[in-house]
Amino acid sequence: WAAVEWAPILTKVALNPSSRHGFKLDQSTQHYTHIRFCMYPDGGVARIRAYGTVHQVHPKNKHEIYDLASAGAGSVITDLSDAHYGHPSNMLLPGRGHDMSDGWETKRSRQPDHVDYCNIKLGQPGHVTDIEVDTAHYMGNPPKAVTIAGFETGSDEPIVLLDQAPMTPHRQHFFKVASDLTGKRIAQVKVTMIPDGGIKRVRIWGAAQLPAVKPEGSLVGVRQELHDEYTWNQAK
Q: Is residue 6 part of a domain?
A: no
pLDDT of residue 227: 72
Q: Is residue 235 part of a domain?
A: no
Q: Is residue 134 part of a domain?
A: yes
What does the mean pLDDT of the chain come to? 94
Mean pLDDT of 109-116: 95
Q: Is residue 163 part of a domain?
A: yes
Question: Is residue 129 a contact partner of residue 177, using CB atoms and an 8 Å limit?
Answer: yes
pLDDT of residue 1: 73
Quote the CA–CA distance of 73 and 135 in Å, as a whole number.
22
pTM (global) more than 0.85: yes
Q: Check which CATH number belongs to the domain holding 72 and give it.
A: 2.60.120.260
Q: What is the pLDDT of residues 45-56, one digit of tens each?
A: 999 999 888 888
Instruction: Provide long-range contacts, Cβ within 8 A and 24+ apart, for 215-224.
Output: 215/59, 215/61, 215/64, 215/65, 215/66, 218/65, 220/65, 220/129, 220/130, 220/132, 221/130, 221/132, 221/174, 223/172, 224/96, 224/172
Q: Is residue 83 part of a domain?
A: yes
Q: Is residue 49 part of a domain?
A: no
Domain count of the fold of the chain: 1
Question: Is residue 107 a contact partner of residue 82, using CB atoms and an 8 Å limit?
Answer: yes
Q: Is residue 140 part of a domain?
A: yes
Domain that holds residue 87: 66-213
Q: Is residue 199 part of a domain?
A: yes
Mean pLDDT of 199-216: 98
According to DSSP, the β-strands at 186-194 and 66-67 are unpaired
